Chains A and B, each alone.
Chain A
Amino acid sequence: MSETAVNEIAHHPNPTGFAHQFEDIDQQHEAGRLGMWIFLATEVLFFGGMFTSYTIYRALHLPSFVIGSHMLEVQFGATNTVVLICSSLTMALAIRSAQVGKSKSAIIFYLVLTMILGALFLGLKLRFEWYHDYVEHIVPGFGFVYRPEWGSAAPGVQMFMCFYFLMTGLHAIHMVVGLGILGVLVGMAARGRFTSQYYVPLEISGLYWHFVDIVWIFLFPLLYLIGGRYSAGG
């Protein structure tokens, strides 16, 4: 891939990163973006399977799911939502920096800021939520304990926690992958690969990052808020 690009630079006056199979850089840009959108369409259905199962089991075990939802700490879910929205803004600004031809240090600054916010999301989730859940014995498979006050709703509560850890875990895996992609982008930016003419990798990685943000935008109300918090006991 990079060899091809180097050959192209040597033989053609095309901007960096132009691959020979395309008519021009615009076509390459559009093909890359379309490919990413097709991948994201498969991701919509991948997460959609979990959202569908969640909806069905929530309909079948609503009281249990309300108990389970009330055991999650809204302030951490809301804080992490804000953290992810900030990271989406910095990601968009990183792409914009390349588009308007800012220096590579500006691109790297916004990319690193995005990585810090992504890491902050995962750190908060691990330290203040998952670890806390483990100590509270509400992680299915890791010493889950039925509480007497749940009564006959207890199996449904465990079901809710299964959904909670599968969905937030799958989301967290996507975040880790996103951090890896951002790391590669920082390396590419440091080598001066991005110009106002060529920033396809930045833009399609941005699409992925925003998609992961959107998944969380739905996970937060579905897991933390549905069932209403007005009657939350604890």
Chain B
Amino acid sequence: MAEHGAHGAHTEFTEHIVPLKVYVGVFLALLVGTALTTGVAYIDLGRWNTVAALAIAVVKMLLVVLFFMHVKYNPGLTRVIIIGAFFWLGIMICFSMADELTRSWEYNPASWTGTILPYVSRFLF
């Protein structure tokens, strides 16, 4: 689409007006994503239902962030802030889960795979 190097090459701030058809395309993609995530929930995929729902939500978020919020056309500093935000969010989620889901572990389990895998799968699915 807009791979003409409007960003990156410039050191100074450059305004970028997003073409109308990009906005409409992203809008339609978001509607399709909403229909898809609703439809998939009615199909029994077992533990993959959760993965599918979150994957579609992440794709929708990326579409909004990159195009509606202009991050695709923004200087790198914006991306540093966004990546930082999600990095700390990851720390919060991972450390909290690591604490909460391992409280009942034995100190010397007979089998690590028998101990870890059920907890990991329960967290994910």
Task: Point out residues on A near B: beta carbons under 8 Å.
Answer: 26-27, 29-30, 33-34, 37-38, 40-41, 44-45, 48-49, 51-52, 55-56, 59-60, 62, 74, 78, 81-82, 85-86, 88-89, 91-93, 96, 99-100, 203, 206-207, 210-211, 213-214, 217-218, 220-222, 224-231
- Is there an interface contact between B34 and A218, defined as CB atoms closer than 8 Å? no
Residues of A within 8 Å of B82, CB to CB, are: 37, 41
Say whether B107 faces chain A, with CB atoms less than 8 Å apart.
no
- The reply on B18 being an interface residue by CB < 8 A is yes
Interface of A: prevailing SS: helix
Within 8 Å CB of A222, what residues of B?
53, 57
B22 → A minimal CB distance (Å):
10
On whether the beta carbons of B43 and A217 are closer than 8 Å, the reply is no
Check A213–B57 contact: CB distance below 8 A: no
Residues in A with CB closer than 8 Å to B97 are 52, 55-56, 59
Contact B17 A99 (CB under 8 A): yes
Q: Smallest Cβ distance from B3 to chain A, in angstroms?
A: 20
Are B57's CB and A45's CB within 8 A? Answer: no
Is there an interface contact between B27 and A230, defined as CB atoms closer than 8 Å? no
Complex: A230 Cα to B78 Cα, angstroms? 41
Q: Which residues of B contact A99 (CB under 8 A)?
A: 15, 17
For B77, the chain A residues whose CB sits under 8 A away are 34
Contact B42 A230 (CB under 8 A): yes
- Binary contact readout B52-94 vs A (1 if CB under 8 angstroms, 0 otherwise): 0110110011001101111000110110011011101100110
Choice from A30, A74, A78, A226 contacting B13 with Cβ under 8 Å: A30
B50 within 8 A of A: yes
A88 to B43, CA, bound (A): 29
Cα separation A143 to B41 with both chains bound (whole Å): 31
Q: Which residues of A contact B60 (CB under 8 A)?
A: 214, 217
Residues of chain A contacted by B85 (CB below 8 angstroms): 40-41, 44-45
B contacts, CB < 8 Å to A: 12-13, 15, 17-18, 20, 23-24, 27, 30-31, 34, 37-38, 41-45, 49-50, 53-54, 56-57, 60-61, 64-65, 67-70, 74-75, 77-78, 81-82, 84-86, 88-89, 92-93, 96-97, 100-101, 122-123
Nearest B residue (CB) for A100: B17
CB<8 Å pairs between A and B, sample of 5 = A52-B97, A86-B27, A88-B27, A225-B53, A228-B41
- Whether A33 contacts B57 by the Cβ 8 Å rule is no
* Residues of the B chain whose Cβ atoms lie less than 8 Å from the Cβ of A38: 81
CA–CA, A87 and B88, complex, Å:
29
Question: Which of A29, A96, A217, A224 interacts with B17 by CB under 8 Å?
Answer: A96
Question: Are A56 and B100 touching (Cβ within 8 A)?
Answer: yes
A17 to B62, CA, bound (A): 31
Please tell me if the beta carbons of B101 and A210 are within 8 angstroms of each other in the complex.
no
